[in-house]
Each structure stands twice: as C-alpha cells, then as structure tokens.
Amino acid sequence: MDDALRLDERRAAARPIAPPSKPRRSAIRENGVILAGLGALALVSCVLFMTIDARGAWGFVLPFRGAKLAAMLLVGHAIAVSTILFQTISANRILTPSIMGFDAFYGLIQTVLVFFAGAAFAAALDPKLLFTVETITLIGFASLLYGTLLSTGARDIHRLLLSGVILGVLFRSVSGLMQRLIDPTEFVVVQDRLFASFNSVDTTLLGISAIVIAVVTLAVIRMLPVLDVLALGREPAISLGIEHRRMVLIVLGIVASFVAVSTALVGPVAFFGLLVASLARVLVGSREHAATILAASLLAAIALVAGQTILERVLGFDAVLGMVVEFIGGIVFLVLLLKRGTA
C-alpha cells in the first residue's frame, strides 16, 4: 500500500515489464517427491499382495488375486475422490458421502427393487444392467436431495451433519423394514448384495465399474481448475464466474457414481474416505485438487492393498480389513469433530 501512498512517483515510473513474480509451481510438482513416494509405496504393496505366498500356483492365484486387487484399487480411488469432491462442494472437512447417507440410499434402491420386483426377477436380470439402473437412480436422487440441501443455505456444518445422519438412518430403517417384510429366501439375495465386503468382492461388476470410474475420473480431471474455485465457497466461486448450482449438481452426480461403484463392489464404507482425504491434505495441502486427489487416491490404494496384504498374508486375519480402516477413519472423524467444527 506504500505504492498507493506514493502513487505519483509510481505513475511516473514506467510499468515494470517483468515484475518480480515467482512463477508458482503447480502443486503436483511442488509435492513431486511425496507423490512419487506414495506411488512407489502403492506399487510395492500391489506387487507384494500379488506375490506373497503364491507358491507357484500362478494359473489360479493371478486371476483370483488380480480381481481382488483391481477391486481394491477401484474402490479406494472411488472413496478417496468422492470424499474430497463432496467436501469441496459442502465447504467442510468432516463430512463424507457415506456419513451423508449416500450408500444407505444405494442400499435402499436395491432393497426396493427386490421388494417390488421380487428376488427371482432381480436375480434373473443382468447384474450389469441392474447396476446401471441403480447408479442412474442414485445420481438422480442424490442431485435432487443433496443439491437442495446444499443450495438452500444449509451451510451450517452441524445442520448438514445432522441432516445426513437422519437421512442415513431413515434410508437404513426403510430398507430394514422392507427386508423384514420380504420372503426370507428373497432376503438372502438382498443380503448378498448389501453385505459385500473387502473380502467377498462382487467381481461380476469389475468390468463395468472400471469403465464408470474411468469415465468419471476423466470428467474430474477436466474439472480440476473449477474444483479449485469451488473450494473457495459459494459466493467467491460465483463472483469468479462459476455457475455454482450447476457445478454442484454435476459434482454430486460424479460423487454418486463413485459411491455406486464402491458400494456395489464392497458395500458401505463410512469413515475410510475421511482418513485418506485428511491425510492427503496434511501431506500435499489443499491448494490444487490435482495434487490432493492424486495423493488421496494413492493413500487409499496403499491403505487397502498393504493393509489386506499384512492382515491376510502375514497375520492370517482374513475378514477384518474393513473393520480396521473404519476404526482408524472413525478416530480421525472424532478428532476432526472435536478439533474444530468447520475446517
């Protein structure tokens, strides 16, 4: 502001041709070492997961473990990116799509389908077709419901959190009620779909999941600069020329697609996204989504693949990965909630 005070002198001097601007390096380059390290760790985890204890039975082990590995990578990426995107549009660092009831809603869609169409019908349908229909329904409802919630000024974090918890409980209770009303044999069909876990990955949907994730990830990459502006909050984003409502709906659609994939493959995961998103921000900051998203996705891959390798191959506990990541994520959630309400 000294310049403004001495404005006449300043005006007399010609405008500097090359001002002393330090070209800011992109966040990816700035954190190149960290990101490369994470990439290497993720790679090592994958190799170890595929090879430890294989005992030469490659013909069986490779496709079996390969499918499981692919599922973990897809799910990790989906949860990490959807969490960061949802936190960007809701302008807080505590909520995840899951806490807001996205996956409960996905479960409800599945239950409703079996309830009204019958398990026989649902089972006869091509699972890929079913998945597509369910995903589109989730995108539609998520945009409607959460779009309204986010744009009607419900920016108070605690109100959002409460709405999410209530919606989640509502969806789960309605699902539960319907499941109790249907035939026990039909219930088994629903249960199969709802209680997938990291250990019983639904591999029939791997191909279509990979396609969905690829398409949606491309969309995210194209939106990266816009996401950075959205992170400033509603009013600053509008001032900078973002069609805020439209962008929030698009991002919600993307988040819903990610959630559909991860829920279809391994079932609901509540706090894991929070864990990797928070850790990614600590490691590479939150200035550019490009870096934050990449870091979160790699962290998710490391946590799931390395975690599964250690638990299953080294410690011999097969089914606890979901529990472990949720436990740690839950602790992060509590810490964040206690530390500060909004940021």
Q: Which residues of 14-39 are buried (b: 16+ CB within 10 A; e: fewer)?
A: eeeeeeeeeeeeebeebbeeebeebe
Number of H helices, E strands in the chain: 16, 0
Write down the least CB distance from residue 148 to other proteins, Å. Answer: 15
Compute the least distance from the CB of residue 220 to other proteins, in Å.
14
Contact string (CB under 8 A) for other proteins, positions 237-266, x = contact: -xxxxxxx----------------------
**CB nearer other proteins, residue 1 or residue 124:** 1
Indicate the residue among 213 and 296 with the shorter CB distance to other proteins.
296
- Cα–Cα distance, 195 to 188 (Å, whole number): 10
Min separation Cβ 229 and other proteins, Å: 6
Pull the structure tokens for residue 69.
Answer: 């590995």
The stretch near other proteins (CB under 8 A) out of 135-143, 219-227, 249-257, 322-330 is 219-227
SS3 82: helix
Residue with tokens 């001002």: 19
Contact track, other proteins, 77-116, x by CB under 8 A:
--------------xxx-----------------------
Q: Which is nearer to other proteins, 18 or 124 (CB)?
A: 18
Q: Residue 261 and residue 213: Cα distance in Å, rounded?
A: 8
Residue 267 CA: distances (Å) to CA of 10, 22, 71, 162, 260 = 64, 47, 12, 22, 9
Which residue, 30 or 326, is less far from other proteins as judged by CB? 30
Binding site for other proteins (CB under 8 A): 1-5, 7, 11, 16, 18-21, 23-24, 91-93, 224-226, 228-229, 231-236, 238-244, 281, 285-287, 342-343
